Amino acid sequence: MLKHGFECLVRNRNSKDIITLSSSSSRRRCIALRNLCSKTQTQKEAATSTARTVPRERAECVVIGAGVVGVAVARELALRGKQVLVLDSAPTFGTGTSSRNSEVIHAGIYYPPNSLKAILCVRGREMLYKYCYEHDIPHKQIGKLIVATRTSEIPKLIDIMNRGIQNGVDGLRMIEGSEAKRMEPELQCVKALLSPVSGIVDTHSLMLSLVGEAENHRTTFSYNTTVIGAHLEGNNICLHVSETKHLEEWNGRCLLHPELVLIPELVVNSTGLSALALAKRFDGLHSGVVPSEYYARGCYFTLSNTRISPFKHLIYPIPEDGGLGVHVTLDLDGQVKFGPDVEWIEGIDDISNFLNRFDYSVCANRAKRFYPEIRKYYPNLKDGSLEPGYAGIRPKLSGPRQSPVDFLIQVPYYRNTREIAVEIYGEGLNFVTVMVGGCIRLGREGDWTNLAREADWTCLDIWSSCGASV
């Protein structure tokens, strides 16, 4: 079953590093689900004991999760000459957050100066545009207008502009509402901030290119394959692996057994929405490594019976709690999307999480909440013109009424072994490129590596919500 996918990756070397790129999962689970599926330490030990009796394989690099982050990291490792195996529970790549976002290339405007978010978003944008140009990925630098629809919002707009300038975002310019209306006749605002370097990208084409490059450099993709936990044996990280169909058939009344134990030298946990659920199933991983859990669900609506878009630019209101407001985005075919909104939701049990059983339905009645928000800047929006589009789940490190947090860097402990945990949370596709081009290099060549050399076993946790517009 899985063995054939692992044969080319067999290695007789001890595991040294684990890198986790992930996002926050649920804010809290209800007691019933926790009792059913969240493992206690005793259950973890039982699972570990069972895992010692199943077949084993060795591998050089294992990337868990084939979203845009996972395939980007797989490509980077493969280009460095590593033999990479990518595991994903879905039938193909990019079925989670990577395919349920605004597909916006962000400029780096919103973040506090000198924060890791600001630095990496600006650099990531430059790298992403370059990659798209060099690999013929459909994209367009269409620009963004952040609008103040009331005079009371102007101070916030000025703060956003000053922050963007300090972050090194090029071309930012404050314009009057009259000039904004000349640019966008359907737009209503008193002032607007023009960001000419913002853009859009075809995320599927981007991932397809990354997958192709990775495969051309000996990367193997094993879909319908789920990592359900892990444990440590000496210096070896042992991943518990099962076919996805066995999880779908599991009734929850017995211990979930792995079908294979995979022993890699390097592990990248880029499972996105389920990354924290998986991290909690790593027997012995210190709980302090795992950030708090929050989910923000967001819905998108499209315009019905519209052949010509009313807008040529991205249109964003002043940011709100948990997101950037119900904004206007365009795809490369010119279709208009409004959203996402913000709905804080509870989490689901671990196995349902692994199987991506989140509720992605969009209720048509939810449009009632969209009309008044959109009409603040698009007053000519007609009744009945919004149609349900799609929904996405945004993993967060901060919850309702909490201030957004920057990337977190911690150095916790794994039993008697010192480990490094670099927890990174960020916005947008930009971070995919910069984490691959910057963070992985830093982790392997910079100060983190110096610390890693002193440890018997190293854990680099990079937490991110890449691919989602937040």
Is residue 258 reached through a cis peptide bond, with omega within 30 degrees of 0 on the bond before it? Answer: no
User: Torsion over CA of 386, 390, 394 and 400, rounded to 10 degrees?
Assistant: 40
pLDDT for the residue 124: 85
Of the chain, the percentage scoring pLDDT greater than 90 comes to 52
Cα separation, 61 vs 154, in Å, equals: 50
pLDDT for the residue 321: 66
Residue 123 or 151, more confident: 151
Which residues are within 8 A (CB) of 330 and not within 5 positions of it... i.e. 6 or more apart?
142, 200, 309, 311, 312, 314, 336, 337
In the block, which residue shows the tokens 């599927």?
A: 204
Residue 276 or 323, more confident: 276
Asked whether residue 264 carries a pLDDT value surpassing 70, the answer given is: yes
Which residues are within 8 A (CB) of 110 and not within 5 positions of it... i.e. 6 or more apart?
160, 163, 164, 319, 324, 427
Asked whether residue 441 carries a pLDDT value surpassing 60, the answer given is: no
In the block, which residue shows the tokens 């890699």?
A: 264
pLDDT for the residue 434: 41
pLDDT for the residue 464: 32
The pLDDT tens digits for 24-37 are: 333 333 333 344 34
Cα separation, 309 vs 424, in Å, equals: 36
Of these ranges, 113-122, 151-160, 235-244, 300-309, the one predicted with the greatest mean pLDDT is 151-160
C-beta of residue 289 within 8 angstroms of C-beta of residue 269? no
- Mean pLDDT, all residues of the chain: 79
Residue 8: closest CA among 312, 276, 215, 227: 215
Residue 12 or 53, more confident: 53
Cα separation, 72 vs 77, in Å, equals: 9
Which stretches of 273-380 are assigned E, i.e. beta strand? 294-303, 314-316, 327-330, 336-339, 343-345
Of the chain, the percentage scoring pLDDT greater than 70 comes to 75
Which stretches of 314-431 are assigned E, i.e. beta strand? 314-316, 327-330, 336-339, 343-345, 386-396, 408-410, 413-414, 417-418, 421-423
Which stretches of 220-375 are assigned E, i.e. beta strand? 220-222, 225-233, 236-243, 260-272, 294-303, 314-316, 327-330, 336-339, 343-345
What are the sequence ranges of the domains in the chain?
A: 3-98+219-290+404-463, 105-204+294-396
C-beta of residue 226 within 8 angstroms of C-beta of residue 244? yes
Helical spans, DSSP H, in 167-298: 177-183, 203-216, 244-249, 275-279
Cα separation, 130 vs 109, in Å, equals: 19
What predicted TM-score, i.e. pTM, was given to this entire model? 0.82
Cα separation, 120 vs 439, in Å, equals: 9
Strand, coil or helix: 154: helix
Mean pLDDT value across residues 284-302: 83
- Reported CATH class of domain 3-98+219-290+404-463: alpha beta
The pLDDT tens digits for 180-235 are: 999 999 999 999 999 999 999 999 999 999 999 999 999 999 999 999 999 888 87
Asked whether residue 159 carries a pLDDT value surpassing 80, the answer given is: yes
Binning pLDDT at 50, 70 and 90, where does residue 411 land?
very low
| Domain 105-204+294-396 part of CATH 3.40.50.20 | no
The pLDDT tens digits for 40-67 are: 455 566 566 666 778 999 999 999 999 9
Q: Which amino acid is at 112?
A: P
pLDDT for the residue 259: 94
